[in-house]
Amino acid sequence: MQRLTKLLTNLALSISILYAATGCKSVQHITPEKNTSSIIASIDLLGTKDDKVKVEIKPEYFTTDTISYYIPKIVPGTYQNNNYGKYIDDFNAFDKEGKPLYVQKYGENRWKINGAKQLDKITYWVNDTFDSEDTHEIFSPTGTNISKDKNFILNLYAFVGYFDGMTENKYKLFIKHPKNLEASTSVDEIIPENKGENINYDVDFFLFKRYADVVDSPIMYSDPDRVTFTVNGIEILLSVYSPNKVHKAARIMPQMERMIRAQRNFLGDINATKKYSVLLYLSTTKQDDALGFGALEHNTSTLVVLPESISKKKLNESLTDVVSHEFFHIVTPLTIHSKEIHNFDYNTPKMSEHIWLYEGTTEYFSILFQITQGLIAKEDFFERILEKIEISNAFDNTMSFTEMSKNILVEPYRKNYRNVYEKGALISMCIDIIMREKSNGEYGIVDLMRNLSSEFGSNRPFEDDELIQTIREFSYPEIGVFLENHVVNGNPIDYEFYLKKVGLQFGTTTLKSSYFINGQQPFVKGSETTKEVVFESNIQYNNFLKNLGVQGGDVLLSIDDKKYDIKNIYDLFGDSNQWKIGDTISFKVNRDGKEMILSSEVIEPTIEKRILESNPTASEQQIKFLKSWVND
């Protein structure tokens, strides 16, 4: 730590700090001096103890007697209060003589420091979140990992905080790390003069223009397994941490390159970053490792967590779905966003009204590009649209999406959050279809996003209450009516009405099934509390169980006098394979406290599945709109 402290001191002495004089015409117009000094932060990955790392923060000066230091309660893209300050231990403040200053902690995320004019540095230790996920709700890609000499996941907002009113100040970040571990990130490293002179460690130096850039820049330290490639002018870094070396970056790269190339072709000339990193952490799924699988978007990177045991095929499929969604966030909200996001308050946030745009449009793009760029078949695309319709019906279908967005951190809105990926995507689908109908197939929602990107951009946010009118001006009056009706007022959407415009209709098909499971979807479940076997509500789609008279919620007691409970639930699948078509079979069930016998002949099990299909009577115009929609 001495070498790192010396390096920080030498650098600080070598930098000339310019103080801007504030001019004024009279005493009455004097305004408080704004602190424009830089903040120096250092993270010591070499001195890890008990799965904790030490952080040191050195501000250059303060003009007030007290100052508060914050660790974020929430960060953009998470939509829940994570209170990262809970993972801070042994917080201390020191003056320039090394004497401790008085510190008071308020809540989970704020420390008030007295004697701020004399403050030289603060120090604290940071715990990780991966090894305690059974005790909190922090989603793994938004959390942290501290695995000494192996891997560090640095979502920097959990390590480095901010002082009152100083989120726009520059940050100089130094990270001391073992030589065998290298940083993977989209942030350009600035090489210190003595880098490489140390025997067993290095010091990386990063410079950030403001705190939002710190928040937006995850770093993964690991034994390097990474590849870089270029797609349409974007330099892509793929860095993989696979603890048991199950997966390699070089083997994942071909599918990743194909996917991102397809995304860039889909977006066309919509503004995009020149550098993008995919940081992939593969979990052992043990109790002390990450268990939340998915990703968190950033302006120039995404941090992905998936299980290491996943097959290569499933890994490629998951990366296509997950990373494509996160990559499309470069359009919204990273390019198109409101003032609430641009000036995000990390501890008392004001949420934007338009999560349907940020998450819904992004999710819609992540499946639309796959059909337009030939990555999936038309039938697969239709199936994904239908799945979103069915899942969205499980949520409150009359809830205003703008009201939900503004209040997403509290109930009852929070429990409806997942619907932004379902109905939110369907909202964008309907907008797309309306635009194609009004433009005779010439324009769609991608064109709308391109125009909005040109109008706003990453440094020019929009006003929340003006967005719908702006969209109306950049598209058609009918789009404004749709948004007011279904997004603001919460009226349910008649998806059949809009899908008919592109020549599609709902239908059914019969598929082979098993008696108690359809693919990965069982018709029964075991109750941990009662130890009983209970039928799920989806048995209505199973022709055998439906003919037998079974209802969702029935408790299975026995079949032909063999008793079943949670201990032998898996016998159901093997025993049913021995049944013979035409034999009579009897189920004893408990329904609402009453035992009943249900008897029937054994028949071939099938399920009735709802599908989305082309309408054979579609008009030429409808067929034209469909082709323009899915690039058929």
Domains in the chain (CATH in brackets) are 2-18+26-222 (2.60.40.3650), 226-330 (1.10.390.10), 339-505 (1.10.390), 514-604 (2.30.42.10)
**462 and 336 Cβ atoms separated by less than 8 Å:** yes
- For residue 270, the model assigns a pLDDT of 80
- For residue 521, the model assigns a pLDDT of 81
* C-beta neighbour count of 521 within 10 angstroms: 11
Instruction: Name the least confident of 3-7, 83-87, 266-270, 472-476.
Output: 3-7
Tokens read off for 193: 């003069």
- For residue 538, the model assigns a pLDDT of 78
- For residue 297, the model assigns a pLDDT of 87
DSSP β-bridge partners for residue 114: 66
Which residues touch 183 (CB under 8 Å, ≥6 apart)?
175, 177, 189, 204, 219, 220, 221
Instruction: Name the least confident of 25-34, 191-200, 363-372, 566-575.
Output: 25-34
Per the listing, tokens 């194609």 go with: 436
Among candidates 212, 203, 218, 89, which has minimal Cα distance to 153?
A: 218
pLDDT tens for each residue of 138-181: 999 999 999 999 999 999 999 999 999 999 999 999 999 999 99
289 vs 1: CA distance, rounded Å: 29
**436 and 502 Cβ atoms separated by less than 8 Å:** yes
pLDDT tens for each residue of 87-125: 999 999 999 999 999 999 999 999 999 999 999 999 999
Tokens read off for 386: 């239908």
* DSSP assignment of 431-492: HHHHHHHHTTTS--HHHHHHHHHHHS-TTSPBPGGGHHHHHHHHS-HHHHHHIIIIIIS-PP
48-57: buried (b, 16+ CB within 10 Å) or exposed (e) per residue? beebbbbbbb
Question: Starting from the edge strand earliest in sequence, which strands make up the sheet with 151-154, in order?
Answer: 145-147, 151-154, 219-222, 182-184
Per the listing, tokens 């390097």 go with: 224
pLDDT tens for each residue of 480-505: 999 999 999 999 999 999 999 999 99
3-state secondary structure of 55: strand
pLDDT for residue 632 is more than 80: no
- For residue 190, the model assigns a pLDDT of 84
What type of residue is 118? Q
Q: Torsion angle of alpha carbons 313, 315, 320, 321, nearest 10°?
A: 110
pLDDT confidence band for 271 (50 / 70 / 90): low
DSSP β-bridge partners for residue 238: 227, 278
319 vs 256: CA distance, rounded Å: 8
pLDDT tens for each residue of 367-415: 999 999 999 999 999 999 999 999 999 899 999 999 999 999 999 999 9
E runs forming strands in 224-288: 226-231, 234-241, 275-283
498-518: buried (b, 16+ CB within 10 Å) or exposed (e) per residue? bbbbbbbeeeeeeeebbbbbb
Task: Say what percent of the chain tops pLDDT 90.
Answer: 83
Mean pLDDT on 47-66: 94
**461 and 338 Cβ atoms separated by less than 8 Å:** yes
Mean pLDDT on 125-139: 95
Instruction: Name the least confident of 99-113, 320-334, 609-623.
Output: 320-334
pTM for the model stands at: 0.84
pLDDT confidence band for 61 (50 / 70 / 90): confident
CA distance between the termini of the chain:
61
- For residue 35, the model assigns a pLDDT of 67
* C-beta neighbour count of 464 within 10 angstroms: 19
pLDDT for residue 10 is more than 80: no
Among candidates 413, 424, 406, 318, which has minimal Cα distance to 362?
A: 424
pLDDT for residue 36 is more than 90: no
pLDDT for residue 62 is more than 50: yes
pLDDT confidence band for 272 (50 / 70 / 90): low
Mean pLDDT on 618-626: 96
- For residue 4, the model assigns a pLDDT of 33
Instruction: Name the least confident of 29-33, 236-240, 437-441.
Output: 29-33
| Average pLDDT value for the chain | 91
- For residue 193, the model assigns a pLDDT of 64
The per-type count for the chain, helices as H runs and strands as E runs, is 17, 31
Write the burial class of residue 609 (CB in 10 Å: 0-12 exposed, 13-18 middle, 19+ buried): middle
357 vs 254: CA distance, rounded Å: 31
Task: Say what percent of the chain tops pLDDT 70.
Answer: 93
Which residues touch 321 (CB under 8 Å, ≥6 apart)?
366
Mean pLDDT on 580-608: 95
Between 178 and 519, name the one with better pLDDT: 178
3-state secondary structure of 114: strand
